[in-house]
Homo-oligomer: A and B are copies of this chain.
Amino acid sequence: MANRNEKLRSHCPVNFALEAIGDRWSLLIIRDILLNGKQSFGALLESDEQIATNILSERLVRLVEMDIIWRQRDPHDGRKFVYDTTPKGDALLGVVLELGAWGAQYDPQTVAPQGTSAQYYADRTGTIEKARLSLVKRRGSAPGPIQV
């Protein structure tokens, strides 16, 4: 699991990244925020992978602590929080897309997730720049789901 303050096994940059987000759930949460526009606990719960509430809760705390996402109260509903990626979280887009490209290539039963176009996974060439532009556009305008 992504550890918090314990000493790292090494300072190889690949290892640093894996200790931060190299567990089974963190990158799925980041995928949902970056690509599927999910920004609340409830929305993140509804993904196909069926994350448990306690795990989602703990991961969100960790990701906030690591400054990969941040949260604020929903101004329109006092029960809810709004979660969104920080620039450090946005910088994981390349990782998510590379994983997606590999998965799409080697999973014989691959499907594009709901609300996400298969073209973002189909080929790697140009994909990262393309999605990054979507993200810039999103950041530049009012916050909300991006339709990729």
A interface residues (Cβ-Cβ under 8 A, vs B):
1, 9-20, 22-24, 27-28, 31, 47-50, 88, 91-92, 94-96, 98-107, 109-113, 121, 124, 128
Q: Are B19 and A22 in contact (CB under 8 A)?
A: no
Q: Are A27 and B22 in contact (CB under 8 A)?
A: yes
Which of chain B's residues has its CB closest to A104's CB?
A: B13
Contact A50 B9 (CB under 8 A): yes
Q: Which residues from B are CB-within-8-Å of A124? A: 94, 128
CA distance A93 to B88 in the complex (A): 22
A24 close to B19 (CB less than 8 A)? yes
Q: Which of B1, B15, B98 touches A103 (beta carbons < 8 Å)?
A: B15
- Is the pair B31, A107 in contact by a Cβ cutoff of 8 Å? no
**Top 10 closest pairs, chain A to chain B, by CB:** A13-B103, A10-B48, A16-B103, A17-B103, A13-B104, A17-B99, A16-B107, A9-B49, A94-B98, A12-B113
